[in-house]
Chains A and B, each alone.
Chain A
Amino acid sequence: MGPGILDVLFEYWPIFLKGAIGTLRYAFIAVSLGSLLGALIALMHLSKSKILSSIASLYVNVLRGTPLLVQMYIAYFFLPIAVPVLNNVDKEVYVLIALTMNSSAYVSEIIRGGINSVDPGQNEAARSLGLSASHTMTKIILPQAIKNILPSLANEYIAMIKETSMAGTFMLYELMYTRTLLANKYLSWQPLFIIAGIYLIMTLVLTSLVKLLEKRFSVSD
C-alpha cells in the first residue's frame, strides 16, 4: 500500500498547489482567448454571407467532432512543421493553441445560442428605428444575450478545467501532471485521489458561483 493519501498530501502539497494553479491558468487562458475567437466565429456563423457561415460551421463541426487529445497531438507535432515561426516558442503554446481553438468552437455556439435566444422583435424594432446593423447588435441584442451567455461561459470554464488534464500528456505543469512527477517517487494511487479531490473542489466551488450568477441575472428580469 505505501503511505496514505493524507501523508502524501502533507508532504507534497506545494506540488499539488502548483499543479492546481497551472490547471486554473490554462483553463482561464483557453476560455478567455477562446471567447474572443469564439465571438468572431459566432458572428461569421450568423452573417448573411453563405461562405463565411459555412466556414464557421465547418470549423465548429470539426473541432467539436474530433477528440481534444487528437487536436492537441496535431497541434504539438504538426504546427511546428506547418508554421516555422512557431519553432522557437515554448511547447506550452502548441497545447494552448489546441485548447483555445477547441474552446472557441464551444464558445461560439454559446454566443450564437445567446444571440438567437433574443426575441427577433427586438432586432426588428431596432432596425425599424433606423439603427444600423452594428448598433443593433451592440446596443440591443448583445446586452440582452449576455444574460444567457455569461452563465454558459462560466460552465465552459468549468468544463475546460477538466479538459486541461490532457495537457499533462505533453509535460505541461498542471494538476494531472503531478501524477507523473509523483509516480517517480513510487506513489501510484495516492496522488490520483488527491488530484480527483482537487478537481472536484474546483468544479463544485465554481458551479455554485455560476448558480449565484444565474440567480442575480434572473432578478433583473
Chain B
Amino acid sequence: MTDKKIPLIETKNLKKNFGDLEVLKGISETIYKGEVICIIGPSGGGKSTFLRCLNMLEEPTEGEVYFEGEKLDAKSTDIDRHRQKIGMVFQQFNVFPHLKVIDNITLAPTLEKKIPEKEAKETAYKLLEQVGLSDKAEEYPRKLSGGQKQRLAIVRAMAMEPDVMLFDEPTSALDPEMVKGVLEVIKKLADSGMTCVIVTHEMGFAREVSDRILFIDEGVIAEEGTPEEFFTNPKNPRTKEFLSQVL
C-alpha cells in the first residue's frame, strides 16, 4: 500500500493544551493515501486528541494540519467541506437516536452533497447490506445492539464517500461478543484500500490490519514502525514496558 506515497494528511509540530495540561507536545507525521495506521498507547497519552485534531474536532493550540494539501486550521478554510471527506467513528457510536437507521445514513449526503433522496437511499441500502443490517433500515437506533450501532456509524460515515476514515477506539464501548463483528467490518474497509487511522487497544487487530503502527505516549510519537518491527523488536523502553503490560 505504502509504495504510492501520496500524502493525505500531514501534521506539523502539532500541539494541544487543555488549560495547563499539555496533551500533544509537537507531533509531525504524514499519513499516506491507502495506508492503514493503528495508533496505540497508554490512556491519557494523547492518541484520541491527535486523531480529533485531524478533522479539527479539537483545534490545535499550535502547529498545522494539512488535508489533501490544504491547511485545515486556516481561517479561510471551509472545514465542513473537508470534513465531508474525513469520516469519523466514535467510541460511543453517536448514532442519531431521533432518526431511523436509513435516515441516519442519508441525512448528510442529501443535505450537504445534494444527492437526490432516491439515490442516497439506494446507496444506503447497499451499505447496510454489506454490514448485515438491511433488515434494520426502518428501525430506530434504540432497537440496535451496541455492535449494530457501531456498524451503522461506520456506514453512515462511508455514505459520504470519504477519502479517509478515522476510528476513535471503535470497539472500546462494546460487549466482548460484539467486538469481532465490528473489527471485521473495519478490516474489510481497510482491505478495500480505504485510508484508515485507527486508535485502538486491540493489539491483535492492530498487528493484523495495519501497515504502520504509531505508539503515542506523553504527547509524542514515541515509536513507529511496521507491525512486525513494532511488536517483535520494539526499540523504545516505554514501548517495551507498554507491550509487556498489554500482551
| Residues of A participating in the B interface, judged by any CB pair closer than 8 Å | 119, 121-122, 124-132, 135, 139-140, 143-144, 221
Contacts and interface: CB of A to CB of B under 8 A. Distances in A.
Question: Most chain-B Cβ atoms within 10 A of its Cβ — which of A130, A140, A143?
Answer: A130
Given A128-B55, A128-B57, A131-B112, 10 more contacts: A119-B94, A121-B94, A125-B90, A125-B94, A125-B96, A129-B84, A132-B112, A140-B96, A144-B98, A221-B142
Given A121-B92, A221-B142, A129 B157 contact: yes
A130 B108 contact: yes
Question: Most chain-A Cβ atoms within 10 A of its Cβ — which of B85, B92, B98, B107?
Answer: B98
Nearest to B103: A139
B81 A130 contact: yes
A54 to B, nearest CB: 22
Nearest to A122: B94
A124 B157 contact: no
B117 interface: no
A128 B98 CA distance: 18
Given A121-B94, A124-B94, A125-B90, A130 B80 contact: yes
Contacts of A121: 90, 92, 94
A129 B94 contact: no
Interface residues of B, number: 27
Contacts of A128: 55, 57, 83, 86-88, 157
B101 to A, nearest CB: 14
B111 A135 contact: yes
B108 A129 contact: yes
A121 B57 CA distance: 11
Contact of B107 (A139, A144, A221): A139
Contacts of B83: 127-130
B57 A139 contact: no
Contacts of B107: 129, 131, 139
A18 to B, nearest CB: 43
A129 B92 contact: no
Interface string B57-85: 10000000000000000000000111111
B36 to A, nearest CB: 20
A220 to B, nearest CB: 8
Interface of B: 55, 57, 80-88, 90, 92, 94-98, 107-108, 111-112, 142, 153, 156-157, 160
A144 B112 contact: no
A122 B98 CA distance: 11
Contacts of A143: 98
A129 B160 contact: yes
Nearest to B153: A125
Nearest to A125: B94
Nearest to B156: A129
Contacts of B94: 119, 121-122, 124-125
A7 B12 CA distance: 86
Given A129-B160, A130-B80, A139-B111, A122 B88 contact: no
Contacts of A126: 96, 108
A218 to B, nearest CB: 12
Given A143-B98, A144-B98, A221-B142, A131 B111 contact: yes
Question: Most chain-B Cβ atoms within 10 A of its Cβ — which of A122, A128, A132?
Answer: A128
3 cross-chain pairs, A with B, having the tightest CB-CB distances, nearest first: A130-B84, A125-B94, A128-B88
Contacts of A221: 142
Contacts of B80: 127, 130-132
A34 to B, nearest CB: 26
A129 B104 CA distance: 11
B75 to A, nearest CB: 13
Contacts of B97: 144
